[in-house]
Homo-oligomer: A and B are copies of this chain.
Amino acid sequence: MIVQQYKEMLNGKSVIRQLSEFATERGKAIGYENVFDYSLGNPSVPAPKEFTEALIRMLQEEDPMTLHGYSPSLGITSVRERIADSLNERFGMHYKKEHIFMTSGAAGAIAHAIRCIAQPEDEILTFAPFFPEYNPYVNLSGAKLRIVPANTEDFQINFEEFENMLSDKVTAVLINTPNNPSGIVYSVRTIERLADILKKKSEEYGHDIYLISDEPYREIVFEGVESPFVSKYYDNTFLCYSFSKSLSLPGERIGYIAVNPACKDAETFVNMCGQISRGIGHNCPPSMIQLGVAEVLDKTADLSVYERNMNLLYDELTRLGFRCVKPGGTFYIFPKALEEDAVLFCEKAKKYDLILVPADTFGCPGYFRMAYCIDTEKVERSLEALGRFVKTEYDIR
A268 touches B116 (CB 8 A): no
A2 touches B43 (CB 8 A): no
For chain A, the bracket of interface size reads 35 or more
Q: Is A187's beta carbon under 8 Å from chain B?
A: no
| Given A107-B283, A286-B254, CB of A278 within 8 Å of CB of B2 | no
User: 0/1 per residue, A276-296, Cβ < 8 Å to B?
Assistant: 101111111111110000000
Could you say which residues of chain B place their CB within 8 Å of the CB of A281?
A: 103-112, 133, 137
Shortest CB-to-CB span from A16 to chain B, Å, is 12
B64 touches A248 (CB 8 A): yes
B133 touches A268 (CB 8 A): no
Q: Is A119's beta carbon under 8 Å from chain B?
A: yes
Number of this chain's copies in the complex:
2
With a 10 A CB-CB cut-off, give which of A108, A119, A253, A288 has the most chain B CB atoms: A253
A171 to B141, CA, bound (A): 22
Task: Determine, out of A26-34, A44-52, A313-321, the stretch whose residues face the partner at the interface.
Answer: A44-52
| Given A116-B6, A275-B136, CB of A248 within 8 Å of CB of B1 | no
A279 touches B137 (CB 8 A): yes
Shortest CB-to-CB span from A296 to chain B, Å, is 13
Which 9 pairs across A and B sit closest by C-beta, in order of nearness? A140-B279, A251-B287, A107-B281, A111-B281, A108-B281, A6-B272, A46-B64, A1-B171, A9-B275
